[in-house]
């Protein structure tokens, strides 16, 4: 740009009508697109090497090359790059939306097939390969109980841990705890399942269970709480840090002891944010399959007792039905998947809306 | 001043608007709160008139609460240590019983009388599928993140960003089901097409059957980690200081030049961390791969033939018929996976921590 300005200064009579640089006409990009599709169709169908998908792929490539060439000729190299990258970024978006939209569409269209009262009111007990009905009642019971117990374990532990990190922890030890909470976020769900298998199912529970390994809903809850704990700690920690310092200082100035300040002033202020974090953690835990598969056993009958005998869960139900040879199994799997996604998304959306309404600071 | 603590405590909590709105946080805490109130009433002999600062007591509520939080914090370290200890304790007997080399043997039959199992093929499949998935997902995810943060209209960007966050919450079993029932068909067609025209390249060679291949697994994995990487890097891009962007634009940069000179350098540590977290997620993914891969043992770079296996998928598939040694063998493979993901995560966290210091000193 500076060079053109300098040129204009030296040769005033040659000044163009407009101050702006030459631009591609508005109709050029669509025209290039149409041309690219035409050439691609001619090449692909002419040689007979593919179908409409290949036409689109080749046309996209030709469009990018054509756009770059045209812009380079008219507007220069920098603008040509700008246009090409812009087109690439937009196409990345389209490319990713297609499969994600397909997931959502399949989920809804296949899921409504068995979305009836029978599905939510019966279990898979005594349902053979030729029976069309059968449902996920036992799995829903299992999911709710396991996630509920996991939340009961995780929420107090996670909040206390976050309070230690933010309010009391100093120096190397607190840093180590923070660091390992972060590291714990990345533990694969199957590893937490294996841990509870090695710890609870094979070592501890045989003590109460006549020496037999005790697969149970409670074991699944333990595995889920290993996964939930870091999420709860991290979100609580962030919320506690957002509580304005003057609130704390005001309480201290009035002579309130520190522990009481934390319980009566800091925690209530941060409460909405903490609830959001807990709900997100619950949503994540509800969708986990691998740990439940390893330690809950996965029965077909309704079992309300999480401490004894096998229990199923919604995600495990989806996995089991997907592997079932019965021709009615896929419909059950899709409906259970739809139920699971609905449960998870309702929790997630509620949590995000809550977070948006009660935003602290930021 | 010699104010009595109970009065000041009530004034402190009651006087703050937010706290009074929520009432007492929990029954337990309310009960604990009463203890000092009863001991320090003016009529009692705890504090005399104008007695100055309250003395710290050996077993006061303050210490008890501090100890409670310390115990909760220590629990995290204990859990991490317990994971390592219990996995090793259960893995060692199985590894002792193994009659083949754990690192190089290609196969998994730990339930036989002479147990034979090797981690080599599984680790190879895990790394190959995750690497492929990231190779596909990262450019697309960064493209979407840039689109949402700098190209789309502000309102559309926010709405779509919310949608992407929701997709990150969809359970993996749903992606696995979709990949196995729906996505396998276009991938199979594509594989046949690749095999017909590019069969001379070894990775697209072979003579079928195609479909439940490493390519399907990697694509499903890519679609799963896409929302995670997108939502993390979008947040990083949105944090770019407006001053930097405006400075670039004011110097005459095009939009792409602004992104290249202002947004990407600023966001680089964040992008690396997001990719590493995506990698951690991809390495540990179990159910989606157990449903989409055509479980085989053997090291092969062929991407389109039925086959492929990963550590996590093998655990899910082989667990059902595993005996005692079989479980130990699976736990041993889980230990290897745990170690791999631990290394990846610690690296990612170290990068994030360095970035945090960097931004704080810059601010």
Average pLDDT taken over every residue of chain B: 81
pLDDT in tens, A12-27: 444 555 566 778 888 8
- At B9, the pLDDT band (50, 70, 90 cuts) reads very low
Q: Within this chain, do residues B182 and B34 fall inside the same structural domain, yes or no?
A: no
| Separation in Å, CA of B99 to nearest CA in chain A | 23
Residue B11 has pLDDT above 70, yes or no: no
Greatest mean pLDDT among A332-346, B49-63, B311-325, B345-359? A332-346
Judged by CB atoms closer than 8 Å, whether chains meet at A255 and B334 is answered as no
Distance CA A201, CA A184 (A): 21
> Which residues of chain B have a CB within 8 Å of the CB of A88?
143
- For chain A, positions 321-360, list CB contacts with chain B under 8 A: 322-323, 330, 333-334, 337, 340-341, 344-345, 348-349, 352
Residue B29 has pLDDT above 90, yes or no: no
Q: What is the pLDDT of residue B111?
A: 85
Tell me which chain B residue has its CA closest to the CA of residue A229. Answer: B76
Tell me which chain B residue has its CA closest to the CA of residue A78. Answer: B254
Q: What is the pLDDT of residue B53?
A: 63
Measured between CB atoms, does B202 come within 8 Å of chain A?
A: no
Which residue range forms the structural domain that includes residue B202? 108-362
Domain assignment present for B66 = no
Judged by CB atoms closer than 8 Å, whether chains meet at A182 and B349 is answered as yes
Q: What is the pLDDT of residue B166?
A: 86
Could you tell me what percent of chain B has a pLDDT over 90?
35
- For chain B, positions 271-310, list CB contacts with chain A under 8 A: 277, 280-281, 283-287, 291
Confirm if B180 and B291 have CB atoms less than 8 A apart: yes
Low-confidence ranges of chain A (pLDDT < 50): 1-14, 361-362
Q: What is the pLDDT of residue A162?
A: 94
**Could you give the dihedral angle defined by the CA atoms of residues A80, B141, A103 and A355, in that order, rounded to the nearest 10 degrees?**
-120
CATH of A121-357, picked from 1.10.3720.10, 3.40.50.970, 3.10.129.10, 2.60.260.20, is 1.10.3720.10
> Which residues of chain A have a CB within 8 Å of the CB of B65?
259, 262-263
- Summarize the confidence of residues B8-30 as an average pLDDT: 40
Q: Within this chain, do residues B129 and B25 fall inside the same structural domain, yes or no?
A: no
Residue B355 has pLDDT above 90, yes or no: no
pTM: 0.82
Q: Within this chain, do residues B9 and B137 fall inside the same structural domain, yes or no?
A: no
Helix (H) / strand (E) containing A27: none
Of A348-352, B15-19, B65-69, give the lowest mean pLDDT range. Answer: B15-19
Map tokens 């805490």 to a residue.
Answer: B29
Instruction: Tell me how many domains chain B contains.
Output: 2
- Summarize the confidence of residues B216-238 as an average pLDDT: 91
- At B19, the pLDDT band (50, 70, 90 cuts) reads very low
Measured between CB atoms, does A204 come within 8 Å of chain B?
A: no
Residue A112 burial (CB count, 10 A): 13
Residues 6+ apart with CB under 8 A from B63: B56, B57
**Could you give the dihedral angle defined by the CA atoms of residues A69, A71, A73 and A75, in that order, rounded to the nearest 10 degrees?**
-160
Q: What is the CATH number of the domain that holds B232?
A: 1.10.3720.10
Q: Indicate the domain borders of chain A.
A: 21-113, 121-357
């Amino acid at each position: 740009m500076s060079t053109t300005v300098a040129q204009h200064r030296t040769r005033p009579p040659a000044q163009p009508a407009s101050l702006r640089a030459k631009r591609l006409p508005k109709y050029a990009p669509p025209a290039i697109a149409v041309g690219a599709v035409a050439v691609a169709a001619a090449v692909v169908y002419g040689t007979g090497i593919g179908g409409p998908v290949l036409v689109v792929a080749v046309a996209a490539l030709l469009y990018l090359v054509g756009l770059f060439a045209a812009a380079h000729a008219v507007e220069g190299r920098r603008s040509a790059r700008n246009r090409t990258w812009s087109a690439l970024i937009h196409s990345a978006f389209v490319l990713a939306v297609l499969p994600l939209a397909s997931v959502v569409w399949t989920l809804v269209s296949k899921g409504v097939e068995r979305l009836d009262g029978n599905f939510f009111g019966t279990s898979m007990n005594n349902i053979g390969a030729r029976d069309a009905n059968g449902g996920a009642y036992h799995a829903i019971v299992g999911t709710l109980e396991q996630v509920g117990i996991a939340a009961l374990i995780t929420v107090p532990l996670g909040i206390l841990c976050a309070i230690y990190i933010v309010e009391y922890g100093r120096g190397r030890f607190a840093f180590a705890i923070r660091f390992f909470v972060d590291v714990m976020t990345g533990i694969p769900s199957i590893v937490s399942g294996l841990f509870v298998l090695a710890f609870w199912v094979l070592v501890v529970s045989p003590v109460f269970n006549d020496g037999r390994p005790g697969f149970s809903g409670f074991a699944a809850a333990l595995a889920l709480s290993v996964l939930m704990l870091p999420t709860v700690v991290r979100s609580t920690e962030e919320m506690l840090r957002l509580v304005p310092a003057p609130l704390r200082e005001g309480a201290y100035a009035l002579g309130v002891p520190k522990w009481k300040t934390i319980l009566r002033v800091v925690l209530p202020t941060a409460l909405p944010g903490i609830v959001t974090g807990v709900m997100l953690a619950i949503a994540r835990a509800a969708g986990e399959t691998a740990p439940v598969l390893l330690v809950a056993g996965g029965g077909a009958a309704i079992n309300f007792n999480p401490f004894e005998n096998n229990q199923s869960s919604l995600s495990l139900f989806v996995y089991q039905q997907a592997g079932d040879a019965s021709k009615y199994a896929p419909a059950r799997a899709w409906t259970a998947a739809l139920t699971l996604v609905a449960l998870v998304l309702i929790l997630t959306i509620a949590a995000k809306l809550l977070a948006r309404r009660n935003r602290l600071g930021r | 001043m010699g104010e009595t603590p109970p009065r000041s405590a009530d004034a402190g909590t009651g006087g703050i608007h937010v706290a009074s709105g929520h009432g007492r946080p929990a029954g337990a805490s309310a009960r604990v709160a009463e203890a000092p109130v009863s001991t320090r009433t003016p009529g009692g002999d705890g504090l005399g008139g104008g007695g100055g600062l309250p003395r710290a007591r050996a077993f006061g509520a303050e210490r008890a609460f501090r100890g409670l939080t310390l115990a909760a914090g220590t629990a995290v370290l204990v859990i991490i240590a317990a994971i390592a200890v219990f996995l090793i304790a259960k893995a060692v007997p199985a590894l002792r019983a193994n009659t083949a080399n754990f690192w190089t043997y290609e196969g998994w039959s730990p339930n036989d009388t002479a147990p034979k199992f090797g981690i080599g093929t599984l680790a190879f499949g895990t790394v190959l599928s995750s690497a492929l998935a990231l190779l596909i997902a990262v450019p697309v995810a960064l493209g979407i993140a840039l689109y949402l943060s700098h190209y789309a209209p502000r309102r559309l960007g926010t709405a779509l960003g919310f949608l992407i966050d929701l997709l990150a919450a969809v359970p993996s079993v749903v992606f696995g089901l979709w990949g196995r029932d729906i996505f396998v068909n276009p991938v199979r067609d594509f594989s046949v097409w690749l095999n017909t025209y590019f069969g001379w390249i070894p990775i697209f060679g072979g003579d079928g059957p195609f479909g439940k291949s490493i390519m399907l697994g990697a694509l499903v994995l890519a679609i799963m980690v896409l929302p995670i990487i997108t939502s993390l890097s979008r947040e990083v891009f949105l944090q770019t200081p407006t001053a930097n962007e405006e400075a670039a634009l004011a110097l005459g940069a095009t939009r792409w030049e602004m992104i290249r000179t202002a947004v990407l350098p600023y966001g680089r540590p964040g992008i690396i961390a997001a990719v590493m977290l995506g990698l951690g997620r991809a390495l540990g993914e179990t159910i989606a791969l157990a449903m989409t891969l055509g479980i085989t043992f053997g090291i092969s770079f062929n991407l389109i033939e039925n086959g492929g296996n990963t550590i996590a998928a093998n655990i899910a598939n082989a667990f059902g018929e595993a005996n005692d040694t079989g479980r130990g063998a699976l736990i041993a493979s889980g230990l290897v996976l745990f170690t791999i993901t631990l290394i990846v995560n610690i690296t990612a966290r170290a990068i994030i921590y360095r970035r945090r210091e960097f931004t704080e000193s810059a601010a």
